[in-house]
Amino acid sequence: MKLERENNLIAKIYDAALLPNLWLDVIKDIVNHTKSKSAIFTGLDQLNPGYDFVYTHNIPNETLAAYQDDRIRVVDMKLHMPLWNGSEIGEALSQSCQHYAQHPGTDHYVFYEKCLKPSGICHLAGVLLDRGNYRWAVLGIHRTREVQPFAQVELDFLRRISLHLRRALQIHRQINVIQQDNLSLYTVLDNFKTGILLLDQNLCLSYSNPVAQKMLDQSSCLDLDMHNRLKAASGQQTRLDQLLESALLEDAAIHTEAGGVLALSDTMGAQLMLTVVPFKKLRNMQHLQSAQHQVALFMTHKSQHYSLSRAYLQQCYQLSKREFDLCELLINGYKIEDIAEQCGITLSSVRTYFKNIYEKTHCCSQIELMHLLMGCTIHFEHVD
């Protein structure tokens, strides 16, 4: 009988992957099966916000309201992630939260006040389903102080069903991608060899391509805060905010260019180059514009060298070899003075060359030319 109930639950898990409203029935069955009080099934991906979900059973509205706050959910991730760092995905653990209320001013206390206290939860058991620097997924079940902590038999049950929950999450992630608006745009951006981030009207991350995700995971030059906004070192944050705001408020930026270029560095000497542009300014993509994206950032390591498509630029814009060389230096972060020195020509000659380049490409400014050149890059080389 118990085996039959578990098999029925597994079948329902796969049904819920296709029909998300069934997750409420799934976690209710898990609560009943383990003689628990409540449960929460949550997934968070800061680099792919459209993936996020929260399903609960028997949790008070006050706690649910708190958990809709992205800050609380990130606190949950960062607070409890250390519990899983020494564990494998699919492993089930249990914990008592009685001490959370004893440390005012800490993340533990915030989580206690917002999430645990309204529900009376004391004993937790959970199974880790996904883990990364910016993402996690967990199924948690709860008991009150008056009930015994979870026994090994309940943890074994969670471990058995975790395989099916993880497979269901993979299905959910794939469906999420398919259902996104402007799928063709994301397909294009996913194949860029440059890191690309898109931000919404609140300057919160709304999309990141695989290259950008890897760069964020591996570099400390740029991070995400609890609200999914970009965070740089304190001395660089002000300039980053200025560029983002100017790109967001492009129509109001009468006397200043929208966006710009910024080099970020960390204490280890690593550097990232950022180009910030209004999303609607991406050439040849206006028919793919999405209302949820307002600002675009192109990211690359400072040591990486952009190569431009010479044939394309010569064919479409009739750029000479010298003009092409100047464009390639510009897109790799060289200032006008540096370009003059690199090419062995005067500063006046460089300005004349760029005036001709602007005319040929129909660009009105250096930033606009950068937008165009970003769309003409090919595979770049790593330079030591």
**pLDDT higher than 70, residue 288:** no
Structure tokens at 256: 């200043």
pLDDT tens-place string over residues 20-60: 889 999 999 999 999 999 998 988 888 777 778 889 899 88
Residue-level pLDDT at 253: 44
Residue-level pLDDT at 384: 28
Cβ atoms 298, 374 nearer than 8 A = yes
- Per-residue pLDDT band for 351 (boundaries 50, 70, 90) equals very high
Residue-level pLDDT at 111: 79
Question: pTM of the predicted model, to two decimals?
Answer: 0.57
- The structural domains of the chain, ordered by start, are 2-178 (3.30.450.40), 183-382 (3.30.450.20)
Q: Which of 197, 189, 198, 183 is nearest to 294 (CA)?
A: 198
Between residues 132 and 162, the one the model is more confident about: 162
- Please work out, in degrees rounded to the nearest 5, the angle formed at the alpha carbon of residue 171 by the alpha carbons of 165 and 173: 105
What is the Cα–Cα distance from 29 to 8, expressed in whole angstroms?
10
Mean pLDDT, range 242-269, rounded to an integer:
73
What is the Cα–Cα distance from 365 to 369, expressed in whole angstroms?
6
